[in-house]
Structure 1
Amino acid sequence: MRLTRFTLPFALALAAGAALAATQPAALTPVNTFIGTQDEGNTYPGASAPFGMIQISPTADHYAGYRYSDKRIRGFGHSYVSGAGCWEQGGQLSVLPVTGRIGPGGDFDTGKPGSFDYKKYGAEYSHEGEVGQAGYYKVQLSSYGGITAEATALTRAAAERYTFAPGTGTGHVLLNLGQANERHNVVGSEIKLVDERSVEGKIVTNSFCGGAKYTTWFRIVFDQPVVAHGIWDERGGWPGAKGPSQAGEAKPHGVWLSFDLKNGRAVTAVSAISHVDAEGARNNLQAEGMAGGRPMAFEAMKDKAQAAWQRELGSVRIEGGSNDDRTVFYTALYHALLQPMTGNDADGRYRGYDNNVHTARDWTYYEYFSLWDTYRAQNQLLALLRPQRARDIANSVLKIREQGGWLPRWGYANFETNVMTGDPVTPFLVDLWRFGALKGREREAYEALRQNAFGTPPFNIRPQGRSGNPTYLQKGFVQYDRTFMAKGMDTDPHHGASATLEYALADSALAKMAWALGMEDDALTLSQRALNWKKVWDPSVVDAPTGLHGFPRPRLQDGSWFADVGSGFDPRGDHGFHEGTAWQYQWLVPQDVPGLAAAMGGQAQALHRLDLFFDYDAIQADPAAVRKSWVVGPYSYYSQFRYNPNNEPDLHAPWMYTLMGQPWKTTTVLRAAETLFGNGPSGVTGNDDLGTMSAWYLFSALGIYPDAPGSGRFLLHAPRFARAEIDLPQGRVLRIEAPDARAGERRFVQSVNWSGKPLSRVWLDWEQLQAGGTLGYRLSPQPQTAGWGTKADDLPAAPK
């Protein structure tokens, strides 16, 4: 049902599913790390620990590292971001095992620098026998006589094992410092051989979406002595050279290490990285990669890595569904628990946004915050499943502000990228406050959020915050101005209409925090600003194909409405909207659903508009119709008027049906959307965006979804599985039971009970969920159009 055409992704999905079934031990929770490695899901198949600092994964031809259809592996990198949409996502320190002669005129000709270009020496490989499990990756390289490559990882250290073909006398390992993922530019690098088993160095790269430079220090220790070595640079290869050797921007640079295989065909490398300094990489290796003064044995590290994942994944238990359904579920959980990444070294030190070294004592500092994405679903999932990590994440965000001068938007390593628009940090932190993750720091957090909501950063610091605030605070909207000077790739006035909607949503969330903290004047102001979505609502706009009136529309600095030269304003165009259109962003008003419905001509008209948006009749008749109605391509959110599950702005839109009294339609949409998530490489819809799409799927499958930021509400809908258990702190358990759920069938909510008592309203509060209990659903094959969740009293109250 998921794929109706015999396309490449279909064949790839079958291949990956077969490989998984053939190689996965029964004892492991079913995870297929190849899910999302095709069609711009941009996940990586290699090894990482939960929230790990280091990742070992293959680099092929794609900018995100690995695409399932790529034919050659250039090397195995040591740092990756999962599921992001920008280039420069990692792959530093690319390692590849090879055979052949290294020297003048050899297979790797030291007289020709081009011999050490990974695009030339990359190895062909086979998907047959390729394994992608939580904490373990394996692939057979068919080049160089056949080499088996394996990887595993703990939080701060990782291991690779390269097993050469029988009869191979000498094996080489190439450490390429000058090249990372496609489009990930290396600015400079340094390397040296410390002794006959150890290599150290550092790599400076440009970051995400062309952002600032940052440094990765590394140390690698081998379980066998090196018998020959050399360094290459832009002039060629230098046998016997130990370094230290340095190279500049985009210059060839690396080291080859040769091993005598008479004592064993396998060479194991144990590595660690740090964003602090060389000592940090050494400490991380010593703390997590060594045992008894020697590099940890590969199997020992693999066992520890997979045991860690078993603990994480085993905290959520599901029953029902098909084998593929369960693999998709647990892989989504796996992807959602990869980030943010651990940022402090084993000794607690981390590099802050002031570029100074700080120490986290008795807590974990986290890095890599894709807040525009994660504030919508992944943040709430972590708060529910991992409250201690949520507290450390909240603390990390406040430390970024303390050390960098402002709250982040898209934080990469130790600096702000200024990627994306709106004000995502406000709903992100307010939700964490609502979920108790800021206990004892409420005032400090509010002060930081108020600074962000009522001001703009000074020009001389990197973050740009709410760059549209000058106009927004004065006139209630962010002006649309494509000439506005940006500190990075994006800035709010470039997308004034959508930025206004995002600001208003953030103000609504912050108002709830202000009320709770007794900041009444602020709360009144913010509550009024939460209605600023109306300032960009133009009732005169007409969507010509449907005849519908009223849509959000960008406004210029003087308050006039934007219009295309010669054609007016088309709500299916993307002028003024970040990665979307007025059709898609019109629903980004969860804080005022009654007001939005009124602007659309009343609730009946709003529901009719939702039906058009989702192509409801088509997906009701055949859920697979989403492949035609919704999804044109991975980045098809430009110039579209339908729902687009590939991107974040309307992820919440299916629950607008619930909030307007038609919860059965939410179920119809969700079951259709879930067909886009499958057990194969193309099994993630759009970029996974650091676990956001995976978290959305998990909530969709479980039967709960977070409502408007700061509300503390979780909306209810029909679960996909018959039973789920979620472990909570202090031995509590949240049980979700839907015994009438059937794999591959659409079932609708007939009634709900909470802890044995009937529940007519369409939500539970955070306090109820985190206290544990049993959420019971009675489902039926037919929708109950006048039953549960259809009365006004069943819905959240309108804002005052």
Structure 2
Amino acid sequence: MTILTRAFIHPIGRCEINAPRRASGYGKSVLRATLVLLTMAAMVVPVTANAQTDPVESVNTFIGTKDEGNTFPGASAPFGMAHSSPIGSHYAGWRYDDPVIRGFGHFFLSGAGCWEQGGLVSILPTTALPQSFDHRRYGVGYRHQGEVGKPGYYRVDLASGITAESTATTRTGVERFTFPPGSTPHVLVNVGQANDKEPVTGSSVRVVDDRTLAGTVTAQAFCGGKPYTTYFTTTFDRPFATTGNWGGAEGGAGLRGQWLTFAEGPVTAATAISHVDPAGATKNLAEARDQTFDDLRTATQALWRDELGSIEIETDNATDRTVFYTALYHVLLQPLTGNDVDGRYRGFDDKVHTAEGWTYYEYYSLWDTYRAHNQLLALLRPDRAKDVARSVLTIHEQGGWLPRWAYANQETNTMTGDPVTPFLVDLWRFGALEGREDQAYRALLQNATQVPDPKSPFEGRVGNPSYLENGFVQYDKDFPKKGQDVDPHHGASATLEYALADCALSVMAESLGHDEDADTLRRRALNYRTLWDDTVTDRGFTGFPRPKTADGRWLSPFTPQGQDGFHEGTAWQYQWLAHHDVPGLVERLGGKEKATARLDDFFAYPDLVANPAKTVREKWVVGPYDYYNQFRYNPNNEPDLHAPWMYALMGQPWKTSAVNRAAQTLFVDGPNGVTGNDDLGTMSAWYVFSALGLYPAVPGTGQFILHAPRFAKSVIHQQNGNPIIIAAEGADPRTLQYIESAQLDHVRHEKVWVDHHTLAGGTNLTYTLTATPGEATWATTPDSTPPSPCATT
């Protein structure tokens, strides 16, 4: 192979390469490339055409690419570090109605809400070199007709006549470009630009040989975090004939990249990334080297088939299958693999470490994922959950503190409260901390009782001084912050989140024999009561959580529909975030009758029963970022995700079934199939649990609250070989249905919940459903509801 030198790398430069074409590296021969070209028509046809039996063919990766769902349609392996997906003008990478594709990027987040979400190392095929190397000018139109979005595979026809296909391995994104007959193949590799609002502050590119480029991209981390560097190596299946760069070989911000011209096509490119060093990116190419595009696609889709096959559903409705398996697909995209093939990864001390015999995972949107996503992964794949738990504890080892929103190897301090505590406590409850219980407990207790040094990049529970002394986090909009958010800016919601976390940790403390800590934490779990103002009235209901200022006074003026003191929600949504003390909350709401009447108003329940789909669209859903001036359930966001199960916890489980069926109508088979940010799979995890008929409502308890399932039969294939079988003959998602009776392992079950240990051992849940609410007397006796872990007796 001819080795190129830096001598011919110059701005808008050109060089001739006369290397012989021979079998080496990624592609073996011209014959293979020709065969690929001749079989292109076949590639449009799915590998397995039967979407009724193949979960891969049931997925539609375009779901969530509109209405700020912020998912990406391109290719990824399960929990993949690298991706291959189109870049448009939308800040999250691509939106379904973007008019042009600017390139195919190799790193994305799925469903996040902040601007900086990757799109790094953009590659675009073209039939002619552009006059301007700005992707805002050279982006190309495309057709949705014939576009394919499946797990591990994406295909689109560009207006230039080029067909672009994508697949991926865990650490590489791979494209195949098929050019129109008679055209000259060109490829642009842009390292100076990424997603529309992903600032690239530095980049470099160099020619390694006549098939390979390597370089770096330094980009802004999520939600205003610090810049970080991604190393990449891109290799092609055939030598390029000429090449040149724009913007120079390396430097700061600005247009920068490499153009390549090939003698013939099709052209396949594989890009591996690493956060460690150039050698890591090159080593990661081993996942794709010496394999054809079709081989890689087949292997990755086999991985997806195995992952998606962890749950089987029985339905004749193809749309239902698509919505369900796409939600499960979005769950299984993250957290992202963080270590290279040799086990090395860049830690939170900015040093290189090695994960030996386990996988280091990164990118933790904990404020979102602690509510449903975390528990679903732990239920389906306990071994992976162990690596996730170990990864989070490793952040503590290297950085000194536990994270809140960890992006790559830095803490962004995004969102509010103490989400890592319920996150890790639930992993402990599910067995994922075996052998590391004491280490985890010490880290969590530090987090719950201390505050990081001002020099630390972590904020931690920065509201602890007031919370520990006074029982609440003060509302102080001028409080200094280290990153995107800080708890006193949202003192009321931070107080409620701290209290919930304290309750979860008290459960763990008691189990590990730390009785004194457990008592203290249980008392602190009731701190939500310090913000309960019995004088506030709204919509005929009295008593709401209300922020307090540092001097202990109520914030004034105040309205339960306002934003002051609450993060991405109002007192109406946050009032339910005391589900670790249901009796105490019910008392503050005026008793069970008034409490459930308030839930009825919150969900617009009478209207919902009359017309579920119309009610949830017109009375629940607002814009994905319109968090305030609201008094209804917000299905777009996390603070009240558990609220449908409050009915069951208050003795009216039939209403939980009705609200879930209604909410499920928001998830559809289309680009607008997610009504707000999917938040790294959180909303999708909510849907999966909702459709199955069980939900982990109260952190730390291991309790799954039951409701009417969507499907006649579902089977959760646990890693231990013990299936969870959920059967509901006559289940009809087109109507509201309620549980008339239930059996657990063929024995009448009158509890509204089942615990994790029962599920882990394998079990049969069998329901008789009814469409008549008056017949739904199941689990309505006082002993049918689970004990609240922090209720006072």
Q: Shorter-chain-normalised TM-score: which range? A: over 0.9
**After TM superposition, what 4+ stretches of structure 1 lie above 4 angstroms from structure 2?**
19-24
Aligned equivalent of 2:271:
271
What is the RMSD of the two structures over their aligned residues, measured on CA atoms? 1.4
What whole-Å deviation, never above 9, does each CA across 1:432-464 have from its counterpart, x for those lacking one? 001100011100000000000000111111010
- Aligned-pair identity in percent equals 59
8 Å contact 1:91–1:180 — kept in the other structure?
Answer: yes
Cα separation, 2, equivalents of 1:56 and 1:639: 39
Look up the SS of the partner of 2:185 in the other structure: strand
- The correspondence of residues 113-128 of structure 1 with structure 2, limited to 5 A, is 115-128=132-145
Displacement of 1:167: 1.6
Q: Deviations for 1:21-63, whole angstroms, at most 9, x for unmatched residues?
A: 9997326420000000000000000000000010110000100
1:317 and 1:725 in contact (8 A); partners too:
yes
Please list the CA deviations of residues 729-760 of structure 1 after superposition, one character each: whole Å capped at 9, or x if unmatched.
23211111111202412211011111111110
Q: Which residue of 1 aligns with 2:609?
A: 620
In the alignment, is the contact (CA less than 8 A) between 1:321 and 1:721 conserved in 2?
no
Q: Which amino acid aligns with 1:585?
A: Y
CA distance in structure 2 between the partners assigned to 1:706 and 1:586 by the alignment: 19
- SS of the aligned residue for 2:418 comes to coil
Pair 1:737 & 2:732 matched: no
2:99 matched to which residue of 1?
71
Gaps of 5+ in 1: 1-18, 103-107, 110-114, 234-242
Who is 2:419 aligned against?
424
1:393 corresponds to: 388
Q: Which amino acid aligns with 1:26?
A: N
The one-letter amino acid of 1:247's match is: G
Note the 1:491-510 alignment, pairs <5 A.
491-510=486-505
| Cα deviation 1:578-625 (Å, max 9, x = unaligned) | 000000100001101111111011010000000000001111100122
Counting only pairs closer than 5 Å after superposition, residues 207-286 of structure 1 correspond to structure 2 as 207-233=221-247, 245-249=249-253, 251-261=254-264, 265-286=265-286
Separation (CA, whole Å) in 1 of partners of 2:346 and 2:310? 32
C-alpha deviation, 1:784, in angstroms: 4.3
SS where residue 458 of structure 2 aligns? coil
The counterpart of 2:311, out of the listed 313, 316, 319, is 316
The match for 1:42 among 36, 51, 70 is 70
Match of 1:11 in 2: none
Is residue 81–residue 90 contact of structure 1 (8 Å, CA) maintained in 2?
Answer: yes
Tell me by how many angstroms 1:547 deviates. Answer: 2.2
8 Å CA contact 1:321–1:720 kept in 2: the answer is no
Aligned-partner Cα distance in 2 for 1:204–1:787: 60
Show structure 2 runs of 5+ residues with no match: 1-42
The SS at the match of 2:665 is helix
Q: Which residue of 2 aligns with 1:382?
A: 377
Asked if residue 639 in structure 1 is aligned to residue 629 in structure 2, the reply is yes
Aligned residue for 1:746, secondary structure, equals coil
Q: Which residue pairs with 1:550 in the alignment? A: 543
SS in 1 for 2:384: helix
The aligned counterpart of 2:4 is none
Normalization by structure 1: what TM-score? 0.92
Note the C-alpha offset of 1:289. Answer: 1.0
In the alignment, structure 1 residue 582 sits paired with structure 2 residue 571:
yes
Aligned to 1:136: 153
| Among 191, 194, 197, the residue aligned to 1:177 | 191
Between the aligned partners of 2:45 and 2:620, the Cα distance in structure 1 is: 31
3-state secondary structure, aligned to 1:701: helix
Query: 1:390-411: per-residue Cα shift (whole Å, max 9, x none)?
Result: 0000000000010011000000
SS in 2 for 1:301: helix
Q: Work out whether 1:749 is the aligned partner of 2:739.
A: yes
Per-residue deviation, 1:639: 1.4
- For 1:196, the equivalent position in structure 2 comes to 210
AA matched with 2:233: R
SS at match of 1:260: coil
Question: SS where residue 209 of structure 2 aligns?
Answer: coil
Q: Give, as a single letter, the amino acid of the residue that structure 2 aligns with 1:159.
A: V
Tell me if the contact between 2:116 and 2:223 (Cα under 8 Å) persists in the aligned partners.
Answer: yes
Letter in 1 for 2:365: S
Distance 1:416 1:628, change over 3 A: same
Residue 349 in structure 1 maps to residue 344 in structure 2: yes
Structure 2 Cα separation of the partners of residues 329 and 394 of structure 1: 27
Deviation at 1:78, TM superposition (A): 0.4
Aligned to 1:25: 49
- Map of 1:153 onto structure 2: 168
Cα distance, 1:20 vs. partner?
A: 11
2:506 corresponds to 1:511: yes
Q: Which amino acid aligns with 1:550?
A: G
2:660 partner letter: L
Tell me the distance in 2 between the aligned counterparts of 1:448 and 1:784: 49
2:27 corresponds in structure 1 to none
Matched, 1:707 2:722: no
The structural deviation recorded for 1:297 is 0.7
CA distance in 2 between counterparts of 1:745 and 1:371 reads: 34
Quote the Cα distance in structure 1 between the aligned partners of 2:676 and 2:499: 26
1:87 has 2:115 as partner: yes
1:695 aligns with 2:669: no
Closer/same/farther in 2, CA of residues 472 and 583 from structure 1, 3 Å limit: same
Q: Could you tell me the TM-score, scaled by structure 2's length?
A: 0.92
Deviations 1:266-289 (A, max 9, x none): 100112100111111111102x11
Code of the residue aligned with 1:297 in structure 2: it is: T
1:569 matched to which residue of 2? Answer: 558
**1:765 counterpart = 2:765:** no
C-alpha distance in 1 between matches for 2:491 and 2:189 = 46
Of 189-198 and 631-640, more deviation after overlay is shown by 631-640
Alignment-mate amino acid for residue 511 of structure 2: A
Deviations 1:291-323 (A, max 9, x none): 2xxxx2100100001111011111211002511
2:704 aligned counterpart, secondary structure: strand
Deviation at 1:658, TM superposition (A): 0.4
8 Å CA contact retained: 2:570, 2:630: yes
